[in-house]
Amino acid sequence: MSLHEKVRKNEELGRYELTVAGSTALVTYDMRDGKIALTHTEVPGALTGQGVGSELAKGTLDDIRAQGMKVLPICTFIEAYIKRHPEYQDLVG
Amino acid 2: pLDDT? 82
Mean pLDDT by 10 residues, the chain (93 residues): 88 97 96 96 95 97 97 97 97 95
Looking at residue 28, what is its pLDDT? 98
pLDDT score recorded for residue 69 = 97
Partners of residue 20 on adjacent β-strands: 23
pLDDT for position 70: 98
- The per-residue pLDDT for 3 is 83
CA distances from 28 to 1, 6, 47 (A): 23, 16, 18
| Cα gap 70→89, rounded to integer Å | 10
Q: What is the DSSP letter of 79?
A: H
